[in-house]
């Protein structure tokens, strides 16, 4: 039997490591034991209300997996004070009141245009009172137990974790469960569940999911930036 030389044994070990990497398996060597930071950015926009941004960051080692669990309690006041419909109605009411004053000075209070403006003002006041009552009811409903909006993130597939490929890419599975919330919307968008198993370039942002709620016209975009830490 031939004696195995040290060089021969090292060559066999190197070839075995390359074969494992080609199969998508982690390479068990010290230079591959690295930490990777995952920055997850979530943007909600559209639907006639201001955009909302949420951010989560996780540091995960190669062949490991990480997770984040959070429940955000929605402040009651924000549901009513920033209600865009009430703000629009109040602005429109102020405009009509100014128009009514100008029409009265120009035509008098018995003129049809003046009477038409009075009717519009009365209708708008009734609508404003109705929306204000709805907002107050929602505040009372959530006063004792404001709603909890989940944001859950998982990085790394079970049994595999996060893998560095021979060409320097980051192979990882990223799962996000998120409940959008927009202050002032009577109907909230549906929850978002995204799962991406992808190759990431270190330091480069990638969009892994985009959704749109047909009822509220609210759009959600989820971006992931994976960065190999030195």
The ranges assigned to domains in the chain are 34-74+147-228, 78-141
* pTM of structure: 0.56
pLDDT tens string, the chain, 230 residues long: the values are: 444 454 444 444 444 444 444 444 444 433 568 899 999 999 988 877 778 888 999 999 998 888 998 876 655 444 444 466 777 888 888 898 888 888 888 888 888 888 888 999 999 998 888 888 777 666 555 555 556 678 889 998 777 889 999 999 999 999 999 887 765 555 566 788 899 999 999 999 999 999 888 777 888 999 999 999 98
Contact at 8 Å (CB) between 38 and 225?
Answer: yes
Helix orientation angle between 112-141 and 84-107, rounded to the nearest 10 degrees:
160
Contact at 8 Å (CB) between 86 and 92?
Answer: no
> How many CB atoms are closer than 10 A to CB 176?
23
- DSSP β-bridge partners for residue 219: 45, 212
C-alpha–C-alpha distance, residues 15 and 18, integer Å: 5
C-alpha–C-alpha distance, residues 211 and 187, integer Å: 17
C-alpha–C-alpha distance, residues 50 and 172, integer Å: 32
- Integer-rounded Cα Rg, in Å, for the chain is 29
């Amino acid at each position: 039997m031939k004696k195995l030389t040290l060089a021969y044994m090292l060559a066999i070990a190197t070839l075995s490591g390359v074969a494992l990497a080609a199969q998508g398996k982690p390479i068990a060597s010290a230079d591959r034991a690295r930490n990777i930071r995952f920055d997850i950015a979530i943007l909600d926009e559209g639907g006639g209300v201001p955009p909302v941004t949420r951010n989560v960051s996780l540091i995960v080692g190669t062949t490991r997996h990480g997770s984040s669990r959070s429940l955000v309690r929605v402040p009651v006041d924000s549901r009513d004070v920033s209600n865009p419909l009430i703000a629009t109605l109040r602005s429109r009411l102020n405009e009509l009141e100014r128009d009514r004053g100008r029409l009265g000075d120009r035509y008098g209070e018995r003129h049809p245009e003046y009477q038409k403006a009075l009717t519009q003002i009365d209708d708008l006041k009734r609508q404003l009172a109705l929306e204000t009552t709805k907002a107050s009811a929602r505040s009372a409903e959530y006063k004792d137990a404001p709603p909890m909006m989940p944001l859950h993130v998982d990085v790394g597939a079970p049994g595999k974790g996060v893998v560095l490929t021979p060409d320097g890419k980051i192979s990882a599975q990223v799962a996000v469960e998120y409940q959008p919330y927009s202050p002032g919307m009577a109907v909230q968008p549906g929850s978002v569940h995204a799962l991406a198993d992808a190759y990431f370039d270190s330091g480069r942002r990638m969009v892994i999911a985009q959704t749109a709620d047909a009822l509220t016209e609210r759009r959600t975009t989820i971006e992931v930036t994976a960065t190999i830490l030195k």
